[in-house]
Amino acid sequence: MGSTLVWRELSQRCGTQAGGSTQALRALQLERLCEVVVWEHDGDELRTKRQSYLMVLLVGDDERIHLALNCRLASALLGQPYSQVSLAERLTLSRDVPMALHAFLSTTIGIGHQLRIGVDRLVDRLWPGSADSAINSTHRSRRGDVHAGLDAIGTLQGWSVKWERDDLAIVNRMGVGVAEMTRHIGNKTRAYRQQPLPKITSKNMGLTTFDASGLFLIK
């Protein structure tokens, strides 16, 4: 899977400015990603291995960049049975505990499914042994942080949190597409489905997409 982007759009999708120093940093980050090697093990009797790259930068200049993703990475983004963690949702959560809970719940609850989970179980996951090792006031504070963190996640467009009891929540994860999950958030006070797409003023407005996964298959 390949995609042509304008550098400014790439910075906006990452939630940063598009100045010269930022673009230089983004280019360096992409170069590092392009150096990541992926090893695929078949697990057969011959213990067959295949080598490929995580990403390839096909064309890049001061205005446009063309990226192609490893077919395995593309499958992880678009298919099953991979866990999808929305960075757009994460950007709307300003505190560490809600972010940690969001990561755990995203990798635990499949899209379109729900989970009944207690506050104490989540506290023990974030702070193992807290009930026994922490002083009472600290443990109560952590329970309060988890409760507030679940409430924060419940305000996201892709989630709902209903309290069956004060210490037991039903967390439901609604269906969200990959484009929605990775979209730039312009206003943190609004749900990400309500955000406008980034406006690109560069003269290179024509963005194209093609399947470049074959570039990574080394026979």
Band (pLDDT 50/70/90 cuts) for residue 80 is: low
Chain-wide mean pLDDT for the chain? 76
Does residue 125 have a pLDDT over 90? Answer: yes
What pLDDT shows up at residue 164?
95
Give the Cα separation of 152 and 63 in Å (integer): 38
164 found inside a domain = yes
Local confidence band at 215 (pLDDT 50, 70, 90 cut-offs): very low
| pLDDT score recorded for residue 2 | 57
| Whether residue 101 is found in the same domain as residue 154 | yes
Contact 5, 208 (CB under 8 A): no
Evaluate whether residue 143 is within a structural domain: yes
Distance separating alpha carbons of residues 125 and 101, to the nearest angstrom: 9
Of 198, 183, 194, 199, nearest to 91 by C-alpha is 183
Report the largest interatomic distance among the alpha carbons of the chain, rounded to a whole angstrom.
61
Residue 128 vs residues 100, 123, 132, 134, 139: alpha-carbon distances, Å: 14, 7, 9, 10, 11
- 145 and 107 in one domain? yes
How is 52-86 classified by DSSP, letter by letter?
EESEEEEEE-SSEEEEEE-HHHHHHHHSTT-----
pLDDT at 176 over 70: no
* Boundaries of domain holding 66: 2-81+194-216
Does a structural domain hold residue 8? yes
Q: What's the rounded Cα separation, in Å, for the pair 152 and 144? A: 12
Residue 169 sits in a domain of what CATH number? 1.10.10
- Total domains present in the chain: 2
Q: Please give the Cα distance from 118 to 168 (Å, whole number).
A: 4
Q: Are residues 9 and 76 in the same domain?
A: yes
> Are 209 and 153 part of one and the same domain?
no
The alpha carbon of 116 is separated from its chain's Cα centroid by a whole number of angstroms, namely 23
Looking at the fold, whether 76 and 101 belong to one and the same domain comes out as no
Which is more confidently placed, 135 or 15?
A: 135
Examine the domain organization and report whether 11 and 33 are in the same domain.
yes
**Domain co-membership, 142 together with 157:** yes
**Is residue 179, in this structure, part of any structural domain at all?**
no
72 & 117 share domain:
no
What is the pLDDT confidence band of residue 160, given thresholds at 50, 70 and 90? Answer: very high
Report for 78-82, 152-156, 199-203: range of highest mean pLDDT: 152-156
Please check whether residue 186 lies inside any domain of the structure: no
- Name the one residue in this structure whose structure tokens are 């093990």: 41
| Residues 92 and 151 both lie in one domain | yes
- Whether residue 187 lies inside any domain: the answer is no
69 and 106 inside one domain: no
Predicted TM-score (pTM) of the model is 0.55
Residue 181 domain flag: no
Confidence band, pLDDT 50/70/90 cuts, at residue 49? confident
120 and 145 together in one domain: yes
Q: Both 145 and 119 in a single domain? A: yes
Asked whether residue 185 is assigned to any structural domain, the reply reads no
